[in-house]
């Protein structure tokens, strides 16, 4: 049964790999639609043409993308033609995510009766050919002083961003930026200098904000930034906060250093409005609040969010103190071998012993540590402390693997290799007993860097586990790309493993994939005997969870280790 299952998976993987190579290699943008016109697949050329990521358009109705179809009002009508005649051919225009417009020849055809893969749309980029016409339209869409998209294009783009966010369940931030006292500058230095200042300021904004965000000139000294793919308020706050700070670096215009400050107001889709007009109006109101508060600052439209910002500032300050006062602790949760019942390792989980408030869980502070980069010094401490405790365990006769959680920030900004080497040599811990837990998304954010790092770590014997596996990309390809040792099945799949057929399918597939690739499968969050029985049946290798032991202090870990009778019955 298991053999057959494995073979099937291998076969399917081969087929998929071949097809996806083929689709990736063609120059035309390609989109596959189901019978209701939702996107079920797209290739790289399509995402280059539109600036949209493949994963964000997946499941999205093509008609909701802001595209104009020659001679027909919407893509719905195009589909009608295809349903009747089998194909449709014509020109298509759209705006790339970076604000530039594109044109393409398109062919829409029915390809199969499979309701999931019913139609294919091919886009042949003709933007260059059309660049003359495009430059004419750009006059209507761009501001001649700063070359930024103007208000008209902003409206169109924002409408598209809202539609995309609605499909993906994400937020969009609209940031209204106004230069403080611009009138004074203009009056005292003249309009000519004022214009030059605006130009330089526009350049500075473009280089500050990522390419995927739109920076537009709203009018006068007002600019509007549209930020898509917003998964947390904290991220927006971080971006806008550092933009406001960076604006105070002087701008050189005609050999004069001009000091400006800015005020910014933020509104968020869907909390503060669901159409461009409302979002722009509310961001403008928030910007005026920032001015009233004394300029050189930013405000959210929603009062609650402003409170959150204040709370966060306090938390950030307290976290900085916590590092200095050595208030962090490591708790350890044992991991068991499901065949032998023996403890094979422990996961180090951080806790904050906050003066007067007891021991805090990471959920209440780790996201702030991540956003403010404090996770870097905290992470350094965790690695060192875990190696130190690992060595203590070893000396007490418990040769256990110690797993340490590594965040995306650490992967991108820290020389982890040196850090790990240093921690190991200073504590005399064995590198082959150190394991790093990294999430899929952290790996994917730092693909090349992570691969080099993991390869080097592997040479030294350090192992790597993929944490929370199944919750994000779960693309099989990257498993081969990174040298990893273990897949940790996210605890959300384990929770209902005995009742929810979807979770059963996911968990058993992860186990099969792990074994196919020669990796170990580790189940997280095992709380009941039934879950344990199921996991053993499916030959999951290791498990951790409250059933065996919650995360405990080092002293209590020793007690757990000395009392192995809690281990598993067969």
CA 483 – CA 464 distance, rounded (Å): 8
> Which segments within 255-327 are labelled E, that is strand?
256-258, 262-269, 298-300
The two tokens of residue 451 are: 């691969």
Stretch that binds Mg ion, among 16-24, 58-66, 166-174, 429-437 (CB under 5 A): 429-437
CA 64 – CA 62 distance, rounded (Å): 5
Candidates 73, 363, 537, 555; binder of ligand C2E (CB under 6 A) is 363
The two tokens of residue 92 are: 């298509």
Q: Beta partners for 68?
A: 93
Q: Are 561 and 398 in contact (CB under 8 A)?
A: yes
145 binds, among ligand C2E, Mg ion, none (CB under 5 to 8 A by kind): none
Mask for 86-115, x = binds Mg ion (CB under 5 A): ------------------------------
Query: Could you give phi then psi for residue 341, rounded to 5 degrees?
Result: 80, 5
Question: Which residue number places its CB atom closest to ligand C2E?
Answer: 545
Nearer to ligand C2E, 165 or 411 (CB): 411
Is residue 467 part of the contact set for Mg ion (CB under 5 A)? yes
Stretch that binds Mg ion, among 200-208, 223-231, 432-440, 471-479 (CB under 5 A): 432-440
Is residue 470 part of the contact set for ligand C2E (CB under 6 A)? no
Stretch that binds ligand C2E, among 139-147, 357-365, 504-512, 533-541 (CB under 6 A): 357-365
Query: Could you give phi then psi for residue 288, rounded to 5 degrees?
Result: -65, -35
Is residue 530 part of the contact set for ligand C2E (CB under 6 A)? no
Candidates 178, 437, 541, 542; binder of Mg ion (CB under 5 A) is 437
Is residue 468 part of the contact set for Mg ion (CB under 5 A)? yes
Candidates 237, 284, 437, 503; binder of ligand C2E (CB under 6 A) is 437
Nearer to ligand C2E, 150 or 439 (CB): 439
Is residue 382 part of the contact set for ligand C2E (CB under 6 A)? yes
Footprint of ligand C2E on 539-568 (CB under 6 A)? 544-546, 551
Nearest approach, Cβ of 561 to ligand C2E (angstroms)? 17
User: Which residue from 560, 529, 539 is spatially nearest to 489, judged by alpha carbons?
Assistant: 539
With b for 16 or more beta-carbon neighbours within 10 A and e for fewer, the 54-77 pattern comes to: eebbeebbbbbbebbbeeeeebee
Candidates 237, 435, 440, 467; binder of ligand C2E (CB under 6 A) is 467
Query: Could you give phi then psi for residue 522, rounded to 5 degrees?
Result: -120, 130
483 binds, among ligand C2E, Mg ion, none (CB under 5 to 8 A by kind): none
Candidates 525, 534, 557, 568; binder of ligand C2E (CB under 6 A) is 525
Tally the residues of the chain. 570
Type and span of the H or E element at 199: helix 191-208
Handedness of CA 401, 404, 406, 411 (dihedral sign): negative
Stretch that binds Mg ion, among 87-95, 145-153, 258-266, 433-441 (CB under 5 A): 433-441
Nearest approach, Cβ of 407 to Mg ion (angstroms)? 11
Q: Which residues contact 23 (CB under 8 A, 6 or more apart)?
A: 30, 41, 43
Is residue 405 part of the contact set for ligand C2E (CB under 6 A)? yes
CA 494 – CA 440 distance, rounded (Å): 18
Candidates 188, 232, 361, 477; binder of ligand C2E (CB under 6 A) is 361
Nearest approach, Cβ of 448 to ligand C2E (angstroms)? 21
CA 548 – CA 345 distance, rounded (Å): 13
Is residue 338 part of the contact set for ligand C2E (CB under 6 A)? no
DSSP conformational letter for 361? P
Query: Could you give phi then psi for residue 150, rounded to 5 degrees?
Result: -95, -170
Type and span of the H or E element at 343: strand 343-354
Is residue 524 part of the contact set for ligand C2E (CB under 6 A)? yes
Nearer to ligand C2E, 2 or 364 (CB): 364
CA 382 – CA 28 distance, rounded (Å): 48
Candidates 43, 146, 216, 407; binder of ligand C2E (CB under 6 A) is 407
**DSSP characters over 80-92:** HHHHHHSEEEEEE
389 binds, among Mg ion, ligand C2E, none (CB under 5 to 8 A by kind): none
The binding site for Mg ion (CB under 5 A) comprises 405, 437, 467-468, 524
- Interacting residues toward ligand C2E by CB under 6 A: 333, 349-350, 361-363, 366, 375, 379, 382, 405, 407, 437, 467-468, 491, 524-527, 544-546, 551
């Amino acid at each position: 049964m298991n053999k057959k299952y494995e073979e099937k998976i291998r076969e399917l993987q081969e087929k998929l790999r071949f097809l996806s190579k083929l689709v990736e290699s063609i120059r035309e943008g390609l989109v596959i639609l189901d019978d209701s016109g939702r996107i079920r697949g797209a290739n790289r050329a399509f995402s280059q043409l539109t600036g949209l990521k493949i994963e964000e358009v997946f499941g999205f109705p093509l008609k909701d993308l802001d595209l104009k179809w020659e001679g027909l009002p919407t893509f719905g009508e195009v589909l009608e033609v295809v349903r009747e005649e089998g194909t449709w051919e014509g020109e298509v225009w759209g705006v790339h995510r970076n604000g530039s417009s594109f044109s393409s020849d398109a062919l829409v055809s029915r390809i199969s009766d499979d309701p999931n893969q019913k139609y294919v749309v091919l886009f042949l980029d003709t933007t260059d050919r059309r660049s003359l016409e495009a430059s004419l339209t750009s006059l209507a869409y761009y501001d001649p002083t700063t070359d930024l998209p103007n208000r008209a294009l902003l409206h169109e783009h924002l409408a598209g961003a809202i539609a995309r966010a609605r499909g993906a369940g994400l937020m969009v931030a609209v940031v209204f930026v106004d230069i403080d006292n611009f009138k004074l500058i203009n009056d005292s230095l003249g309009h000519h200098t004022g214009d030059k200042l605006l130009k330089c300021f526009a350049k500075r904004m473009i280089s500050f904000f990522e390419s995927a965000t739109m920076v537009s000139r709203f009018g006068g000294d007002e600019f509007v930034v549209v930020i898509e793919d917003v998964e947390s308020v904290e991220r927006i706050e971080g971006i806008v906060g550092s933009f406001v700070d960076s604006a105070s670096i002087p701008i050189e215009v005609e050999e004069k250093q001009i000091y400006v400050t800015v005020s910014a107001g933020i509104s968020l889709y869907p909390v503060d409005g669901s159409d461009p007009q409302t979002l722009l109006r509310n961001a403008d109101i928030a910007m005026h609040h920032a001015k009233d508060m004394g300029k050189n600052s930013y405000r959210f439209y929603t009062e609650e969010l402003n409170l959150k910002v204040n709370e966060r500032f306090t938390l950030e300050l307290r976290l900085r103190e916590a590092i200095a006062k050595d208030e962090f602790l490591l708790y350890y949760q044992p991991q068991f071998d499901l065949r032998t019942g023996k403890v094979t390792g422990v996961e180090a989980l951080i806790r904050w012993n906050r003066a007067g408030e007891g021991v805090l869980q990471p959920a209440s502070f780790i996201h702030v540590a991540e956003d403010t980069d404090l996770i870097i010094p905290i992470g350094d401490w965790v690695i060192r402390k875990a190696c130190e405790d690992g060595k203590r365990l070893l000396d007490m006769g418990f040769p256990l693997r110690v797993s340490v959680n590594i965040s995306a920030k650490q992967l991108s900004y820290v020389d982890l290799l040196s850090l790990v080497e240093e921690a190991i040599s200073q504590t005399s811990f064995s590198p082959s007993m150190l394991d790093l837990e990294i999430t899929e998304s952290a790996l994917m954010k730092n693909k090349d860097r992570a691969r080099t790092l993991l390869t080097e770590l592997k040479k030294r014997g350090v192992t790597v586990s993929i944490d929370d596996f199944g919750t994000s990309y779960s693309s099989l390809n990257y498993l081969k790309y990174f040298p990893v040792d273990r897949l940790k099945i996210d605890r959300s799949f384990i929770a209902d493993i005995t009742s929810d057929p979807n979770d059963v399918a996911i968990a058993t597939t992860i186990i099969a994939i792990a074994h196919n690739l020669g990796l170990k499968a580790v189940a997280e969050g095992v709380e009941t005997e039934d879950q344990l029985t199921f996991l053993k049946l499916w030959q999951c290798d290791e498990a951790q969870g409250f059933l065996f032991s919650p995360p405990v202090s080092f002293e209590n870990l020793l007690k757990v280790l000395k009392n192995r009778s809690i281990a598993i019955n067969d």
